[in-house]
Amino acid sequence: MDCTSCDTVPPRPDRPHTFIAHAQDTCPTCALAGEARVVLRDGKVVHLLRCTTCGPQEREVHANAQTWMQEFLAKGVVPAGLVGDHLFKHTTSTCPKCLALVKADVVIRKDRVFFLKDCVRCGPSEALVSEDASYYVKAYSFARAGTQPLIFRNTAEHGCPTDCGTCDDHEQHTCLPIVEVTDHCNLECPICIVDNNYSKHMEPATFQKIVDGLVEAEGVCETIALSGGEPTSHPQILELLKIACRPEIGRVVLITNGIRLGKDRELAQALKEMGIYIGLQLDGFTAEVHTKIRGKDLVKEKEAALQMIEELDLPTQLIFVATRGVNDHQIGQVVELFLSKPQFLSLNFQPVAYTGHGGGTFVHDPNDRLTIPGVIRHIDAQTGGKVGYTDFFPLPCSHPQCVSLTYLLRLDDGTSVPFARFVDFEKHATLLRSSATLPATPEVEDALADVIHEVFARQDEIERGPEILAALRRCLDEMFPQKPLSARDQFRASERQSKSIFLHHYMDRHDFDLERLRKCCHHYPQIDGKIMPACGFNMFHRGAAKGPETPRAKFGRAPFSLPVIT
Amino acid sequence: MSALCAGRVAFVTGGSRGLGRAICKTLAREGAFVAFNYLKHDEDAAATVAAIEAAGGRASAHKVSVLDKPGLTELAKSLDKLHGKIDILVNNAGYGQVVPLALMEESDWDEMLDTHVKGAFLSTQAVLRTMVREKYGRIVNVGSLAGIKMMQAPVHYATAKAALKGFTESLAKEVGRYGITVNCVAPGILDEGVSDHLPPGRKEEYLRHCAARRVGKLSEAADMIAFIASERASYTNGATLVVDGAV
């Protein structure tokens, strides 16, 4: 399933199967043990293996995909009275000490999900991967077939994760390319997930080639994000942004800590005129929180950035890195702020990943950390149920354990109602997309028609039913007017209708899951044309998975160290 | 074979007289509970109910205009509350008026279009909620041969009936996914109802072109409507079915 609203010309083809999970198997030819992709294809269940001796192999393991799926989900039900761990499945993770790929038992323990690993060199380890086993198991039922790029930059040879770039075994195209345009930064964040060396700003000509390569691979992109380092540290940042503003790209997002934005009106005005979206890191509201997470008191700087955003009406995504015991008590506050201003289109919670220059060494307990369900519980509790636990659903675009989201419909009085209060998302999976807003596609129009009729039929039972119907009428009028709209105007029209709250859990050495990487759709495009799935890049290529000076994997490739595309 | 509409709940607009009464009686005979609305004629409405009950059927009459949106909404809600559903809607309310375009007042035009077209829209909107919820419905719009073929018919009447054909086809596409069918039954000249007011010679002209060599009976149109409103017509959708003896 394509996850963007892009009007793809030519269209990106769907994958020929629906990728579900990884499983242990043996090569059908030589019986060598290996890890298989479990896929649903033509109503059957097939294991796809890449045998190091025999090459690509496959084996049908079940004749009825629906039955198999039911049986698979049933494995996640803990037998009554069981004491101890319940084994749900297996996957491949990493040893948190030596970063070697190791088999992981995925077990349910007291309604939570853990990886149990045993590295031959370093010994056993455990890691919490989800604070809600029911959510974790059910998430697999949301899996949908991915879409592949027009061009793969690599061919699968050794198997995941060594062939990244992406290879033709990868299960999703690039939904969100994040280009790191500089390794300079004006902060030293204790939770930084990259590894700034203060050595390079990307040349505009290089960035141009990266963007050209992206468009070549994707056809069109809903969004491109410029990151760093701190991208506003780049002396030619406006030139780069101008390069990214092209018809094939719907939104250009500048991910920033907001320090320069809050005090440089000239820059902010230029961003406004170029139609740039802001991705503002906002992890809290107090000096203590900022100091613990970002290394210094940023209260005034964040307030200045927020004021500039409001004054210039800059469309903005708020990004909140949630850390247990540090800023999780301010989750509700950021939700309330997000709901209060029309400039805030989406709110992205990222349960902290303990990787990178800062994050790799940030004090933490891998068995007691925030995961997606934990953040959602805080949202529910701290907003008094305004946005509730059951309003969120796994996003089928990426691996369903990676992202959870809810859309909130904007009512005519400016307040918002979560779509889940009046939409059955399990039925209308089309509405669960990766974009920050509902895209104006024929599929969404069709799904909206269903939603409208269902609300129409039950308007007396649904809280604020008539107001929701009026808002849905506005959605139709503005998103699907009786005149052609450019892709950019479609985005603008969509953005006026709804907001979204995302939770994206990037992986680290504790909870790394190879099957999640397999369908990753947040990618770092590189200067050699490779498009690297984010968590794989952070784990094996950046050289900071455990903090500074972490040895790279043998196949690792450092950022900025590669030849320019020719 | 069991009755066509056994256990169903029907709402018929304009059910007190003429073809409307025949539709009500036929649907009741076929097992439906029939609710109908009317505008003016209390005695006729009571007579329709009495006739149905005398034949062992069940019916209720409701004095509310098809242009009264709140009244229709309340009526639909009360029927839904009482019966738990509304399975069948027959948009029948209408009237004939013989007047050439040259003499037609704007109010003539508006009243004709409002009663036939806006009335069908408002009645359908009031009832559709329960049909979508129940994933079942039969909507039958009473059109006319005058809305399909070039005939000597008043322009505003022909326009209104033609509009119902478009209403039928578009709505059928829109709500078909909920198990709701929308069809139009277009009678030719029938022996009662609007044909009572035809100018001299118009009926004879019709008969000259009609293979059946006679006008139709109200019951012949009503029987077709009852069939289209039944579960058995499950694959007939968006259609206009002509009941004219082959003109």
Query: With an 8 Å Cβ cutoff, is B177 touching chain A?
Result: yes
Q: Rounded to an integer, what distance in angstroms lies between the CA atom of residue A329 and that of residue A417?
A: 23
Alpha-carbon gap, residue A165 to A174, rounded angstroms: 11
pLDDT per residue over A276-316, tens digit each?
A: 999 999 999 999 999 999 999 999 999 999 999 999 999 99
Q: Assess B175–A contact: CB distance below 8 Å, yes or no.
A: yes
The amino acid that residue A224 corresponds to is: I
* Number of other CB atoms surrounding residue A561 within 10 Å: 13
Q: What is the pTM for the complete model shown?
A: 0.86
- Mean pLDDT score of chain A: 92
CA A441 to chain B, closest CA, distance in angstroms equals 18
Share above pLDDT 70 across residues of chain A, in percent, rounded to a whole number: 96
Amino acid B36: pLDDT: 98
Token output for A422:
């009046």
User: For residue A556, is pLDDT > 60?
Assistant: yes
Q: Would you call B128 an interface residue with chain A, using a CB distance cutoff of 8 Å?
A: yes
Chain B hits for A450, Cβ within 8 Å: 177
| Residue reference for tokens 């044309």 | A529
| A449, A450, A458: residue with CB nearest B133 | A458
Please state the φ and ψ torsions of residue B60, each to the nearest 5 degrees: -145, 145
Distances (CA, A) of A540 to A162, A544, A553: 9, 8, 5
Please check whether residue A4 is in contact with residue A439, taking contact to mean a CB–CB distance below 8 angstroms: yes
pLDDT the model gives residue A2: 45
3-state DSSP assignment of residue B183:
strand
Mean pLDDT computed over A330-337: 98
Q: What is the pLDDT of residue A397?
A: 87
Question: How many CB pairs (< 8 A) connect A and B?
Answer: 16
Q: Do B129 and A457 touch (CB under 8 A)?
A: yes
Interface probe with A: pick from B73, B128, B129, most Cβ of A within 10 Å: B129
**Residue B178 designated active-site:** no
Interface test with A, best of B131, B133, B134 (most A CBs within 10 A): B133
B129, A456: Cβ pair inside 8 Å?
yes
Catalytic residue chosen out of the listed positions B38, B95, B136, B157: B157
How does residue B228 score in pLDDT terms, banded at 50, 70 and 90? very high
| A479 vs B185, higher pLDDT | B185
pLDDT score for A434:
47
pLDDT in tens, A92-116: 999 999 999 999 999 999 999 999 9
- CA A536 → CA A28, A171, A552, distances in Å? 28, 14, 11
- Average pLDDT of B67-85? 97
Q: Are strands A221-227 and A249-256 parallel, antiparallel or unpaired?
A: parallel
- Determine the distance in angstroms separating the CA of A418 from the nearest CA of chain B, rounded to an integer: 21
Residue A136: Cβ-neighbour burial (10 angstroms; 0-12, 13-18, 19+): buried
Q: Which residue of B has its CA nearest to A453?
A: B132
Interchain CB distance below 8 Å, A456 and B175: no
Model confidence at A3: pLDDT above 60 = no
pLDDT tens-digit series, residues A439-464: 777 888 888 888 999 999 999 899 99
Q: What is the band of A164 on the pLDDT scale with cuts at 50, 70, 90?
A: confident
Distance, in Å, from the CA atom of A206 to the CA atom of A135, rounded to the nearest integer, reads 43
Q: What confidence tier does B194 reach under pLDDT thresholds 50, 70, 90?
A: low
Q: Of the CATH numbers 3.90.650.10, 3.40.50.720, 3.30.160.40, 3.30.1020.10, which one belongs to the domain with range B9-241?
A: 3.40.50.720
In angstroms, how far is the first alpha carbon of chain A from the final one?
Answer: 32
Instruction: Identify whether the C-beta of residue A268 lies closer than 8 Å to the C-beta of residue A166.
Output: no
Written as one letter, the residue type at A82 is L
Interface contact B128-A456, CB threshold 8 A:
yes
Put simply, whether B174 touches A (Cβ < 8 Å) is yes
Listed in sequence order, the residues at least 6 apart from B32 whose beta carbon sits closer than 8 Å to its beta carbon are B5, B6, B7, B8, B9, B10, B87, B88, B229
Q: Do A457 and B175 touch (CB under 8 A)?
A: no
Q: Is the pLDDT assigned to residue A506 strictly greater than 80?
A: yes
Q: In the predicted model, is pLDDT for residue A6 greater than 50?
A: no
Q: Which two tokens stand for residue A418?
A: 């979560």
Per-residue pLDDT tens for B90-142?
999 999 998 999 999 999 999 999 999 999 999 999 999 999 999 999 999 99
The count of residues in chain A is 566
Contact A453 B130 (CB under 8 A): no
CA A552 to the chain's CA centroid: 24
Tell me the chain A residues in contact with residue B130 when contact means C-beta distances shorter than 8 Å. Answer: 457
Closest approach of B133 to chain A, Cα-based (Å): 5
Contacts of A454 in chain B (CB under 8 A): 132
How deeply is A177 buried, as exposed, middle or buried, from its count of CB atoms within 10 A (0-12, 13-18, 19+)?
Answer: buried
Q: Which helix (H) or strand (E) holds A406?
A: strand A403-410
Q: Does B130 touch chain A (CB under 8 A)?
A: yes
pLDDT, tens digit (0-9, with 9 covering 90-100), for B229-247: 999 999 999 999 999 999 9
Place A178 in a pLDDT band, splitting at 50, 70 and 90: very high
- The per-residue pLDDT for A436 is 53
pLDDT confidence band for A324 (50 / 70 / 90): very high
At A426, is the pLDDT very low, low, confident or very high (cuts 50, 70, 90)? confident
Q: What is the reported pLDDT for A435?
A: 55
Q: Say how many C-beta atoms besides its own lie within 10 A of residue A420's C-beta.
A: 17
A352: tokens are 């902290």
Instruction: Give residue B1's pLDDT.
Output: 64
Q: Any chain A CB within 8 A of the CB of B176?
A: no
CA distance A83 to chain B (A): 45
- Summarize pLDDT for A363-377 with one digit per residue, the tens: 999 999 999 999 999
| Rounded (to 5) percent helix, strand, coil in chain B | 50, 15, 35
Q: Which residues of chain A make contact with B177, given a CB cutoff of 8 A?
A: 450
Question: How large is the angle between the packed helices A465-479 and A442-457, nearest 10 degrees?
Answer: 160
Instruction: Give the single-character DSSP code of B149.
Output: S
Distance from CA of A14 to the nearest CA of B (A): 26
Task: Write the CB contacts of A496 (distance below 8 Å, at least 6 apart in sequence).
Answer: A410, A478
Ordered by start, the domain boundaries in chain B are 9-241
Average pLDDT, chain B: 95
**B177/A450 Cβ within 8 A:** yes
Which among B92, B93, B87, B79 is positioned nearest to B31, based on CA atoms?
B87
B-interface mutation test, from A451, A453, A469, most B Cβ less than 10 A away: A453
Residue B110: partners with Cβ closer than 8 Å, 6 or more residues away: none
